[in-house]
Amino acid sequence: MALADDIARVLFTEAQIQDRIRAMAAQISRDYAATAPLLVSVLKGALYFMADLSRAITIPITIDFMAITSYGDETASTGAVRLIKDLDEKITGRHVLLVEDIIDTGLTADYLLRTLRARDPASLNICTLLDKAARRIVDTLPIQYRGFEVPDEFVVGYGLDHRQLYRNLPFIGVLKPEVVSASR
Ligand code: 5GP
């Protein structure tokens, strides 16, 4: 049985995702021209987005990664976040763009922003592929670039997982309810 058989509905196809990323990258290339920004992303969910976005950007950039504990194997946010891997580079005086897969309640991004802001970057903004705005708790996030708004449903694919699976789907979709309930 193929991984894609567990998907009830495709929200964004591979072509739609890539088109949107090209447009976001063009905008970032214009906005950050001559600043050599640092793109920071969070493992593992933003891995594919970071890879495609950074390759579509046409100005000099550097990239760095953090890893945090997020939902664990659950599908509901606790807001509790722990840093497992910190950045390799110093960000003081740098123009930093936090590259996120999805912003849901915003609690994770808010924690990351506070951590990064304490290191005095020249600027700090967010680029998120998906925005689940209906569930936002923290509404002060500097989201400068957003790919797509998503409904209040649990989505997988293109980096996003359910129990560590489905990250390698090239599209983004909603899981069949029986798949979610069978794993509870
Ligand atoms: P927040 O702290 O904004 O509520 O949650 C952010 C994190 O929750 C994301 O980085 C992601 O790991 C996880 N998350 C939120 N919504 C979804 C979703 O629909 N699907 C998946 N796979 N993860 C999600």
Query: What pLDDT score was predicted for residue 178?
Result: 87
Is 93:124 a contact under the CB 8 Å cutoff? no
Query: What pLDDT score was predicted for residue 71?
Result: 52
Give residue 81's pLDDT band: very low, low, confident or very high (50, 70, 90). confident
The whole domain housing 163 covers: 3-182
Q: Say if strands 38-43 and 7-12 run parallel, antiparallel, or are unpaired.
A: unpaired
CA of 130 from ligand 1 middle (Å) equals 10
CA of 48 from ligand 1 middle (Å) equals 15
CATH value at residue 57:
3.40.50.2020
Q: Pick from 94, 99, 113: which is nearest to 53 by CA?
A: 99
Is 124:113 a contact under the CB 8 Å cutoff? yes
Distance in angstroms (rounded) separating the CA atoms of residues 143 and 177: 31
pLDDT over 90 percentage in the chain: 84
Give residue 74's pLDDT band: very low, low, confident or very high (50, 70, 90). low
Position 72 pLDDT exceeds 80: no
CA of 56 from ligand 1 middle (Å) equals 24
Q: Is the CB of 110 under 6 A from ligand 1?
A: no
The total number of structural domains that make up the chain:
1
Interval 1-29: pLDDT, tens: 799 999 999 999 999 999 999 999 999 99
Residue 24 phi/psi, 5° resolution? -65, -40
Task: Using alpha carbons, list the distances in angstroms from residue 30 to 23, 25, 37, 104.
Answer: 11, 9, 12, 27
Across the strands, what pairs with 95?
A: 123
Interval 98-144: pLDDT, tens: 999 999 999 999 999 999 999 999 999 999 999 999 999 999 999 99
Q: Is the CB of 128 under 6 A from ligand 1?
A: no
Name the residues annotated as catalytic.
Answer: 104
